[in-house]
Structure 1
Amino acid sequence: MESLNGMEVFVHVAQTRSFIATGRVKGISSSAVSKSISRLEDRLGVRLFQRSTRSVHLTPEGEVFLERCRRIFDEIQAAEDELLSMTEQPRGRLRIGLPLAGGLMLPMISDFMQRYPEIELDLDFSDRLSDVIDEGMDVVIRGGELNDSRLISRRLGSFRLCLAGSVSYFGKHGVPVRPDDLATHACLHYRYPSSGKLEQWPLKLKTATLGGHALPSTMICSSLEALLFLVEEGRGIACLPDFAIRNGLSHGQLQTVLDSYMSRITTFHVLWPSTRQMTPKVRVFVDFITEVFNQYLVKKNK
């Protein structure tokens, strides 16, 4: 068992090229990861990684060993999947990747836990697609365009991005009726944590600049929850998904502006690796989330 644990840590390091990232996935410290790799190298009598202060790379011996380890773990996973398929009882640990805007998903996750109490959930919030294969996720939910042939996807539903502010904010500063009016408003922006890029407000006619000037950047943050909180506090206007402001709109606290100028509709998909047999726990999750997802989205007027 110790050998398998050491091999599993080795595979994660080989995939992530990072002791820190591996420790985060495994729930241990980076020093514990380093010691595990050192013990494995001592037992095998070869160097598996070339280490520097900035990077970790496989040696030629490490490349050979990685291929063998992958075959071993594929066989173990196939054996478990075969037995689970025979019992048809959805149980065991299910690793789910959820988008950073995970507030929409949490009520669904809660309902799923109630329906399938024997499935243990391991939730990871991220906007990366690489985590499905590279970090061993069983299933993920993502929005936007998909182009990874290694993944099977099923459409869940769509949402639109809105420019929103509080009623109190607009009462003090006025309601913008044209994109150019945003130049005199407090604009709160979202930065993607994975890339560091600002999310562009999807205004029609590519109104990225107003009268030759960029949109004001009163505040920038990498948390949608923080962005929503500041909007509700009356600190400015932000670009937010409609499901995030549904409650604020229904209670008359928030309002949207420039709706006719907004152009982006995004679709959520649930995805899982095409290279693996679909286990009962993955199947019931995919079926469940497909069944209930639209109930939590904002109803579109026909």
Structure 2
Amino acid sequence: MENLSGMEVFVHVAQTRSFIATGRAKGISSSAVSKSISRLEERLGVRLFQRSTRSVRLTQEGEVFLERCRRIFTEIQAAEDELSSMTDLPRGRLRVGLPLAGGLMLPMLSDFIQRFPDIELDLDFSDRLSDVIEDGMDVVIRGGELDDSRLISRRLGSFRLCLAGSNDYFQQQAAPARPDELSSHACLHYRYPSSGKLEPWPLKHSPSLSGGHVLPSTLICSSLEALLFMVKEGRGIACLPDYSIRKEIASGELQTVLDSYMTRTMTFHILWPSTRQMTPKVRVFVDFMTEVFAGYMAKKH
């Protein structure tokens, strides 16, 4: 068991490239993570990571060992799933991948825990999709277009991107009536952590293509929560999913602008690997989320 624990720590460090992040996830100190890796390297007689003050990188031996560890943990999970299937009871650990802007799902997940107390949720917030199979996720929820033949998907619900600002902000700066008027406003942008790219504002007539107008970059951040905070503080206009600001719109704290120019609607899907048997815990999770998702998307409070 100690060997498996050390291997589990190793896999997490390999994925996060950080002793600190691994320690936080495991509830131990970064020095304990370092000692665990050192003991593993000593036992194996090889160096698994190249360490520096700025980065942690896998060695060639580490890459080989990581692949083996992933296979081992996949087999362990498969054994647990097989036994769970034999009892036909939804139980065991369920690894769920959620989008970084996954706060919408938290009330649903809380209700799921209450309904299925024998299922242990392991939540991973990330916008990556390519590592669903490799990272051993049981099920993931993602927004946007999806194209991966290894995954089975089911539609959950749709949402719209909108431009919003606070009433305080629009009292100081008149609300834009046309997209090109955004060039005189404070524009707050979201950056995708996985790619480093800015989320485009889906306007019919893009200011960056019309009349030489370019959207100002008053603020750029990779956290939807931080972006929403700044909007509510009156710092400018941001492009946000409608579900994330329903309560603020209903209360009058925020208002949307240029609605008739916004063109993008996105859909949430729930996905799971087609190469694995659908275990009871995955089946009840997929059925539960499909059942309740639309209702939660429509709630204003």
Relative to the length of structure 1, the TM-score reads 0.85
Q: How far 1:139 moved relative to its partner?
A: 1.9
Q: What is the aligned partner in structure 2 of residue 116 from structure 1?
A: 116
- Against the structure 1 CA distance between its residues 263 and 36, is the aligned structure 2 distance closer, same or farther, given a 3 Å change threshold? same
Q: What is the aligned partner in structure 2 of residue 56 from structure 1?
A: 57
Q: What is the aligned partner in structure 1 of residue 208 from structure 2?
A: 208
- Whole-angstrom distance in 2 between the partners of 1:226 and 1:39: 40
- Against the structure 1 CA distance between its residues 173 and 75, is the aligned structure 2 distance closer, same or farther, given a 3 Å change threshold? closer
- Whole-angstrom distance in 2 between the partners of 1:178 and 1:17: 45
Contact 2:207 2:213 in 1 (8 A): no
- Whole-angstrom distance in 2 between the partners of 1:38 and 1:73: 21
Contact 1:209 1:215 in 2 (8 A): no
Q: How far 1:66 moved relative to its partner?
A: 4.8
Relative to the length of structure 2, the TM-score reads 0.85
Give the secondary-structure state (helix, strand or coil) at the position aligned to 2:137: coil
Q: How far 1:55 moved relative to its partner?
A: 4.7
Aligned pairs for 1:63-78 (under 5 A) are: 65-66=65-66, 68-78=68-78
Q: Deviations over 1:190-217 (max 9, x none)?
A: 2223333222211113433563132122
Q: Deviations over 1:26-62 (max 9, x none)?
A: 4444443343333334334x315262534533445x5
Aligned pairs for 1:145-156 (under 5 A) are: 145-156=145-156
Q: How far 1:127 moved relative to its partner?
A: 1.7
Q: How far 1:269 moved relative to its partner?
A: 1.1
Q: What is the aligned partner in structure 1 of residue 276 from structure 2?
A: 276
Moved more, 91-100 or 174-183: 91-100
Contact 1:150 1:274 in 2 (8 A): yes
Aligned residues: 297
Q: What is the aligned partner in structure 2 of residue 196 from structure 1?
A: 196
Q: What is the aligned partner in structure 2 of residue 222 from structure 1?
A: 222
- Whole-angstrom distance in 1 between the partners of 2:166 and 2:64: 59
Contact 1:99 1:141 in 2 (8 A): yes
- What is the RMSD of the two structures over their aligned residues, measured on CA atoms? 2.7
- Against the structure 1 CA distance between its residues 163 and 134, is the aligned structure 2 distance closer, same or farther, given a 3 Å change threshold? same
- Whole-angstrom distance in 2 between the partners of 1:174 and 1:70: 55
- Whole-angstrom distance in 2 between the partners of 1:88 and 1:192: 40
Q: What is the aligned partner in structure 1 of residue 105 from structure 2?
A: 105
Q: How far 1:248 moved relative to its partner?
A: 2.0
Contact 2:190 2:198 in 1 (8 A): yes
Give the secondary-structure state (helix, strand or coil) at the position aligned to 2:282: helix
- Against the structure 1 CA distance between its residues 50 and 235, is the aligned structure 2 distance closer, same or farther, given a 3 Å change threshold? closer
Q: How far 1:126 moved relative to its partner?
A: 2.1
Q: What is the aligned partner in structure 1 of residue 46 from structure 2?
A: 47
Question: Aligned residues: percent identity?
Answer: 76
- Whole-angstrom distance in 1 between the partners of 2:89 and 2:214: 56
Moved more, 166-175 or 92-101: 166-175
Give the secondary-structure state (helix, strand or coil) at the position aligned to 1:120: strand
Q: Deviations over 1:107-126 (max 9, x none)?
A: 21122122112222232322
Structure 2: gaps (5+ residues): none
- Against the structure 1 CA distance between its residues 27 and 278, is the aligned structure 2 distance closer, same or farther, given a 3 Å change threshold? farther
- Whole-angstrom distance in 1 between the partners of 2:72 and 2:230: 50
